[in-house]
């Protein structure tokens, strides 16, 4: 479907099994006639044909190859092949952003009158897309607990087509049992889509656990250095064919430049996820010792309510730590305003540690009652732990915690 025509030499044969570190640097490479070693950036919006006959064959799909960059671009194709290899997916469709990945999935696979069951703990824009746009076109969503599998079963209707979740959740790092929820979805004839943004395929592979679709905001850890926006949808060839069709027709495609940045990002993903995770664990352990910290939320800590499930489903606890300071909003803002190094921003997945106050930023538009019900207190702080020395991150937080 996405094959980009004559391939000079495949870097590695993907039918053989390779470790993630190897796939991250070598999977998906296609070289041009110039035999470039590093992945080339093809900044071209269209492609030429050798003859009228070849153009005709390309357009009716009789001959594989590039036509126009809304359909395919070799740099984007390399990114798709590399991410597919890492997630263990038959096919990857790259898109302009994480939100475009969710849009393309629902527009391609659902129709008016269909029903979604989704976790209550989703990225804010995801919930807004479901409530404000999909609903307008007759697709309704029922929200259930991220952690209570029985609620997913109970919410199913005859027209349920899609289950949607994100694990660990933002900002409380709740863990959804992917295998158990996938089993419920399967028994009801629904598809399970997992937003794997927080873990990346390095820490968690939802398709191996029974999910049908993986969604990515590549903007976060896959870039890893906060430069560009992008997203991806992954799954079987059969499911990805309509997703690709939607994209090729309506246009929220990934730019070649962004794909090139993401290809380079993937090469260091394993190293970075290991380092983010090690730093996050050390920081979470330190936070638990601080007298002015009431509670720490980190799946890698034995005190996390779903620590056992997290350690079975993920390779590490990941890079996101949340904690509640004693003294509510004033105390939380004091910690944030006393930092000198940490970036006060809601972005995550960057080499630079970021700090945010969910109650007044990412979750500010939700009613105070709904926020309380979701467990997002005024004293809660979220840290996306970067790659600085942990001692420097600790010192930056210690000032406001004293």
Question: Using CB under 6 A as the criterion, which residues of the chain lie in contact with ligand PLP when the complex forms?
Answer: 97-99, 123, 125-126, 166, 170, 195, 197, 217, 219-220, 229, 231
Percentages of the chain per state (helix, strand, coil), in multiples of 5: 40, 15, 45
Q: Rank residues 200 and 279 by Cβ distance to ligand PLP and give the closer one.
A: 200
Q: Are the CB atoms for 350 and 226 separated by under 8 Å?
A: yes
DSSP reduced 3-state for 252:
coil
Q: Quick one: DSSP state of residue 28?
A: T
- Beta strand 293-297 with 160-166 is unpaired
Question: What's the min distance (Å) between Cβ of 224 and ligand PLP?
Answer: 13
Q: Rank residues 122 and 390 by Cβ distance to ligand PLP and give the closer one.
A: 122
* C-alpha–C-alpha distance, residues 307 and 313, integer Å: 10
What the block records as the tokens of 51 is: 């003859």
Query: Edge-to-edge strand order for the sheet containing 91-95?
Result: 91-95, 231-235, 213-217, 191-195, 160-166, 115-119, 140-144
Question: What's the min distance (Å) between Cβ of 204 and ligand PLP?
Answer: 13
Q: Are the CB atoms for 101 and 233 separated by under 8 Å?
A: yes
The greatest distance separating any two alpha carbons of the chain, rounded to the nearest whole angstrom, comes to 75
- Of 224, 222, 279, 226, whose CA–CA distance to 84 is shortest? 222
Question: What's the min distance (Å) between Cβ of 170 and ligand PLP?
Answer: 6
For residue 168, cis peptide bond before it (omega within 30 degrees of 0)? yes
Q: Which residues are within 8 A (CB) of 58 and not within 5 positions of it... i.e. 6 or more apart?
A: 49, 64, 65, 67
Question: What's the min distance (Å) between Cβ of 229 and ligand PLP?
Answer: 5
Residue 1, Cβ neighbours under 10 Å: how many? 13
CA trace torsion 394, 395, 398, 402 (10° rounding): 150
DSSP reduced 3-state for 288:
helix
Q: Rank residues 97 and 173 by Cβ distance to ligand PLP and give the closer one.
A: 97
Q: How many residues does the chain have?
A: 402
Handedness of CA 310, 312, 317, 320 (dihedral sign): negative
* C-alpha–C-alpha distance, residues 394 and 402, integer Å: 12
Give me the residue whose beta carbon is nearest to ligand PLP.
98
Q: Rank residues 95 and 331 by Cβ distance to ligand PLP and give the closer one.
A: 95
Q: Rank residues 150 and 344 by Cβ distance to ligand PLP and give the closer one.
A: 344
Handedness of CA 276, 363, 397, 379 (dihedral sign): negative
Q: Rank residues 220 and 371 by Cβ distance to ligand PLP and give the closer one.
A: 220
Q: Rank residues 74 and 349 by Cβ distance to ligand PLP and give the closer one.
A: 349
Handedness of CA 370, 371, 377, 379 (dihedral sign): negative
Q: Are the CB atoms for 369 and 338 separated by under 8 Å?
A: no
Helices of type H across 10-73: 20-26, 52-59
Question: What's the min distance (Å) between Cβ of 32 and ligand PLP?
Answer: 29
């Amino acid at each position: 479907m996405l094959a980009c025509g004559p391939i000079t030499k495949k870097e590695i044969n993907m039918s053989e099994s390779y470790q993630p570190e190897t796939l991250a640097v070598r999977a998906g490479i296609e070289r041009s006639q110039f035999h470039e070693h590093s992945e080339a950036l093809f900044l071209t919006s269209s492609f030429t044909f050798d003859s009228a006959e070849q153009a005709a064959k390309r357009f009716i799909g009789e001959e594989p190859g590039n036509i126009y960059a809304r359909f395919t671009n070799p740099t984007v194709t390399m990114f798709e092949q590399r991410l597919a290899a890492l997630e263990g997916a038959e096919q990857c469709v790259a898109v302009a952003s994480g939100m475009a990945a969710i849009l393309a999935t629902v527009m391609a696979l659902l129709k008016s009158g269909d029903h979604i069951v989704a976790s209550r703990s989703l990225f804010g824009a995801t919930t807004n897309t479901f409530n404000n746009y999909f609903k307008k076109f007759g697709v309704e969503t029922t929200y259930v607990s991220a952690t209570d599998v029985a609620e997913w079963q109970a919410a199913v209707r005859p027209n349920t087509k899609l289950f949607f979740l994100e694990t660990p959740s933002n900002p409380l790092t709740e863990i959804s049992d992917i295998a158990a929820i996938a089993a419920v979805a399967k028994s009801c004839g629904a598809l399970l889509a997992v937003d794997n943004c927080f873990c990346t395929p390095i820490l968690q592979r939802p398709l191996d656990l029974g999910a049908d679709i993986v969604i990515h905001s590549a903007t976060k850890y896959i870039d890893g250095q906060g430069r560009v926006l992008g997203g991806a949808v992954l799954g079987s060839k059969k499911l990805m064919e309509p997703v690709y069709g939607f994209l090729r027709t309506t246009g929220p495609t990934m730019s070649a430049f962004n794909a090139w940045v993401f290809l380079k990002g993937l090469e260091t993903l394993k190293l970075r996820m290991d380092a983010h995770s090690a730093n996050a664990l050390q920081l979470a352990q330190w936070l638990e010792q601080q007298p002015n910290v009431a509670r720490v939320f980190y799946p890698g800590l034995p005190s996390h309510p779903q620590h056992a499930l997290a350690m079975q489903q993920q390779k590490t606890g990941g890079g996101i730590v949340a904690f509640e300071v004693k003294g509510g909003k004033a105390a939380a803002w004091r910690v944030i305003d006393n930092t000198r190094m940490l970036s006060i921003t809601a972005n995550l997945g960057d080499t630079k540690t970021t700090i945010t106050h969910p109650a007044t930023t990412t979750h500010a538009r939700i009613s105070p009652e709904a926020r309380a019900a979701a467990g997002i207190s005024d004293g809660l702080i979220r840290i996306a732990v970067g790659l600085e020395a942990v001692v420097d991150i600790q010192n930056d937080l210690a000032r406001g915690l004293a």
